[in-house]
Structure 1
Amino acid sequence: MRPTQALQGGGAPNPKIGQWLGDWGHFGGAKQKGVVTFGLSANRQNPFAGAAHDAIFNTFRRTKSQIFYWLPPMLAGYYLLSWATERNHYLNSKAGRAEFADEEE
């Protein structure tokens, strides 16, 4: 006499009796049939096909969509840096030292 499925199970169902997929990484389903894969030999591929075309047009498209995110901060940073450099040159010049000499104390 065969024991019932409820008596045999303790946790996971028995793969001989019920529908059981299996543990992670070991799914116990039927093997797939009719799946065909094709490959291309490494020496037959052209890895740079269309690279120059994509480099020009893809770069233009991506820059056009992002220019207002990076151009204003870059211009503000450039303006601030040039102002600070000019101000530093002036304060370290003869005229700047003469103008601000009494404020150093």
Structure 2
Amino acid sequence: MRPTQMMSGGGGGAPIGKYNHYLGGWGNFGGMKQRGIISYGISPNRQNPFAGAAHDAVFNTFRRFSSQFLYWAPATVAGYYIMNWAVERNEYLNSKAGRAEFGGQAEE
């Protein structure tokens, strides 16, 4: 059965489609029964949304960590050693021996 002009929007503006079946207006899919359209579904209580989540989390985390390690590790190590040197140098300059060595002069 072919839809009439009135069923397909009145002015002929709505496309009939490949198989001459009208779906209805946008958001109002209540037209004729469709053929050749297959849809599958599963009940929410039959789904397992966390299936393999712990396994995937471990291996995905390792993959992401190993791909970024060489970007931040050298900077972190260098920053640690520079900060350690600065703290030790500051402690020495503020100690009795440091004040005696560099007494009244500004350090270069």
TM-score by length of 2: 0.57
Q: Which has the higher helix share?
A: 1
CA–CA distance in structure 1, aligned partners of residues 66 and 60 of structure 2: 10
Number of residues paired by the alignment?
A: 80
Structure with greater contact order relative to length (CA < 8 Å, sep ≥ 6): 2
Amino acid at match of 1:84: A
* RMSD across aligned positions (CA): 2.5
Unaligned runs of at least 5 residues, structure 2: 1-9, 16-21, 24-28
**1:54 equivalent among 53, 56, 62:** 56
**1:66 equivalent among 65, 68, 71:** 68
Amino acid at match of 1:36: S
Counting aligned pairs with the same residue, the percent is 55
Q: 1:89 to 1:44 in 2, by over 3 A?
A: farther
**1:36 equivalent among 21, 34, 39:** 39
TM-score by length of 1: 0.59
CA–CA distance in structure 2, aligned partners of residues 92 and 47 of structure 1: 61
Which deviations, in whole Å up to 9, do the C-alpha atoms of 1:3-58 show, x marking residues without a partner? xxxxxxxxxxxx825xx5xxxxxxx55528425252542x5443432222112211
Which deviations, in whole Å up to 9, do the C-alpha atoms of 1:47-73 show, x marking residues without a partner? 432222112211111122111111111
CA–CA distance in structure 1, aligned partners of residues 60 and 101 of structure 2: 54
CA–CA distance in structure 2, aligned partners of residues 80 and 54 of structure 1: 38
Unaligned runs of at least 5 residues, structure 1: 1-14, 21-27
CA–CA distance in structure 1, aligned partners of residues 46 and 95 of structure 2: 67
